[in-house]
Structure formats: C-alpha cells, structure tokens
Amino acid sequence: MNDELDVQCLPYMPLQIERLRKSKAWLRCKRNPEIAFYMVNLWMRAWHEIPAGSIEDDDDVLADAAMCSPDKWEELKDDILRGWDRHDGRVWHSTVIEIATEAVGKLRMNKSRTAAAREARELQRQSSVTGTVTENVTDSVTEHEGKGREGKGIEDKTTSDDVVAAAPSISQVFAFETQSIRLTTAQLEQWRKGFPHLALEAELLALDEWAGTKGNRWFAAVSGALAKKERAAVDRVSTAAAVRDRGGGRRPDPRI
C-alpha cells in the first residue's frame, strides 16, 4: 500500500459505472438498498483520507463515515465492509486505492507535460534570441560576399525561413493531455483565467470520458461545461457572502 497516496486536491471520485453495476457488492445492494447508501459514504470518506482508500479501523469512526447509527452499524457492518481489508489499524478498499493511484498518475503526468511545455517555450525563446544575433552577424559578413557572388552568378538559395520551418512548432506541445482533452499552454491558461473558481485540472480529468463522446466538438462542449460549473461556483460564493453579511444564519450540514 502507498502510505502517502493523497487525492485530496480532487473534489470528485470517478465512478466506473459498468464495473459497479456488475459487481457482487451492488447485487447485495439490490436486495437491501440501505447498504448502498452506507457503502458509497465509506468510499467517499476513504477517497479523501490519507492514505487514500483507507479509513481508521474503529467502529465509531466507520459508523460515522458511513452516516449510519451505531445500532444499525452493528447489525449491517459485515455486509457493508465486505470487500474491505484490515491491516495496520485501518480498513482498505482495493478499488478505491486503484482509482486513486490512477488519478495521481494522471496528475503527475500533466504536471510533467506542463513543465516540459514551459521548458520548450524557454528554449524557443533562447533560440530566437540567438537566431537574431546570428542573423545580424551573417548579414554583416555576406554583405561583402554578395558583391563577389553577383559577379560570378552565384545565388545563395538557403534562407532563414528554411531553418525556422525545420524547428518543431511550440503549438504542438500540450501542457495538459488526457485520453480526450488536449490543451496547449495558451489554452490552459485562458481557461484558468476564465474559470478562476474551479480546480481546473481536476474538473478536466472528471470531464475527460464525457468529452470523448463529443468527437471533434469536445473543445466547445468542455468549455460550455466549465462555464456552467463556474457560474454555479460564483452563485455559491455570492450566496455564502450574502449569508455572512446578514450575520450568519443556519450553517449547512458539513457532511454534505
């Protein structure tokens, strides 16, 4: 187990729908839907624990995480915890750990691509500066050589455009890339500025599978989805500010 597995930066937990629907755990929930409520609550709690996918192995803690009464917990805990492993004083769910590990891998990959894009951009900038200096020196030298070539009918067909054309285009370096979503540094920064209330990378990872169903229109679809999420976030902030300005009001249930 990865004792440092941490996905607290991700506000969502991916749900593998077909895998869940075909599982024996969900079959038991069909017979007793109440168990499904407790199971999902435990998965969500384990997702934002460190290490991700685990919870302290204590009946009071587990019952609270499941939002289950102590009496009901004693009655149903064997069914609710079926599929969890116990060791090191915690209970562990292999599927939650697997999904969290995959999510961390994607986050690290995107950070690496962002760093690579930044480095490539800096190299291009340095290359542009060097090219300008070289061009000035070359012009100074060839100004005199050209006179001799004119007399001999020699024509130099190599231009600076040929050199530039051979260089890789920085626009082809993606700062963020998943199975369906690919963004350049400029596009990523544009969305980051346009949707300041969102955890952008996390939202993009959550939208990746859905974006794949949109074909060539994925960019507009994802942009629209992010805009909707941004409006909802702004509304929540405005509502919270209004409540605060009025002097409080009933505090929301922190479990929601």
Tens-place pLDDT, residues 63-84: 999 999 999 999 999 999 998 9
**Residue 140, pLDDT above cutoff 70:** no
Contact 35, 75 (CB under 8 A): no
The model's pTM is 0.50
Using alpha carbons only, give the angle 196, 169, 179 rounded to the nearest 5 degrees: 55
55 by DSSP, 3-state: which?
Answer: strand
CA end-to-end span of the chain, whole Å? 29
**Residue 30, pLDDT above cutoff 80:** yes
pLDDT digits (tens, 9 = 90+) for 189-243: 899 999 999 999 889 999 998 999 988 899 999 999 999 999 998 988 888 888 7
Amino acid at 9: C
Q: What are phi and psi of 14, to 5 degrees?
A: -55, 140
Contact 63, 69 (CB under 8 A): yes
The rounded distance, in Å, linking the Cα atoms of 134 and 188 is: 33
